[in-house]
Amino acid sequence: MSAQEIAIASLDGGSFSGYLATPTAGAGAGMIIIQEIFGVNQVMRRLADAYAAAGYVALVPDLFWRQQPQVQLDDHSEEDWNKALQLFQGFDEDKGVEDLIATLNTLRQLPECTGKVGSVGFCLGGKLAYLMATRSDAACNVGYYGVGIENNLDETGNIQKPLMLHIAESDQFVPPEAQATIRVQLSGHPQVTVYSYTSVSHAFAREGGQSYDQAAAELANSRTMAFFQEHLT
């Protein structure tokens, strides 16, 4: 596996960076890793490395570049938490999706990418993965504990490619009413699979995080990898 920083051309004439991890084989299906509110930090980079080790060409775009480029925050620091929440409050969601579509375009054009590209996102990225399913032509998308999905359920009719969502039932940022609304609105959609995990909190799959739950994380990750193997090969 190899890793490097690359430039991604935005749809509105700008440019931002992305962390690219390439598998040892040198080529594979594409995978966009969509950041949490802590930027393209070591957690996201390790995820990209893991996906590259599994055979994917993984790219983590810097979605906070319009506010502050190259953000790398630590979820164990109170000061960094406050900074992350400030960046989240100032984040332009629509522009973020546009930047993900630009990332999709860039990844598809890389010689290492064999064609199909999926996305997987966490927290803020979990919501953005849902919006990639409604607003882009990515081959498939996975969202972990996305915050605010219930506010965009009117876009569900746009979903034409497979989408998987992982919901933490004790998520302090996604109240039970929101979870219920998501499940009801998406139930029966032929392209959508929703899994709920009991007794776990937001960020249960963030290895090393305060809410990490190994059993739930391993179950969710195994479902995700099987999903990508089915839809990206």
Catalytic annotation present for 92: no
Rounded to an integer, what distance in angstroms lies between the CA atom of residue 62 and that of residue 225? Answer: 24
Question: What is the pLDDT tens value at each position of the chain, 233 positions in all?
Answer: 899 999 999 999 999 999 999 999 999 999 999 999 999 999 999 999 999 999 999 999 999 999 999 999 999 999 999 999 999 999 999 999 999 999 999 999 999 999 899 999 999 999 999 999 999 999 999 999 999 999 999 999 999 999 999 999 999 999 999 999 999 999 999 999 999 999 999 999 999 999 999 999 999 999 999 999 999 98
pTM of full prediction above 0.85? yes
What does the domain layout of the chain look like in residue ranges? Answer: 2-232
Distinct helix (H) and strand (E) counts, the chain: 6, 8
3-state DSSP helix/strand/coil percent for the chain, to nearest 5?
A: 40, 25, 35
Rounded to an integer, what distance in angstroms lies between the CA atom of residue 135 and that of residue 38? Answer: 24
Which listed residue (76, 171, 189, 213) is catalytic?
Answer: 171
Rounded to an integer, what distance in angstroms lies between the CA atom of residue 120 and that of residue 100? Answer: 11
CA 184 to each of CA 7, 106, 173, 202, 211: distance values in angstroms, whole numbers, following the listed order: 40, 35, 19, 20, 26
Backbone φ/ψ region at 83: left (φ over 0), alpha (ψ -120 to 50), beta: alpha
Give the strand pairing for 163-168 and 192-197: parallel
- The class that CATH gives domain 2-232 is alpha beta
Rounded to an integer, what distance in angstroms lies between the CA atom of residue 113 and that of residue 32? Answer: 12
Catalytic annotation present for 202: yes
Which listed residue (62, 80, 99, 202) is catalytic?
Answer: 202
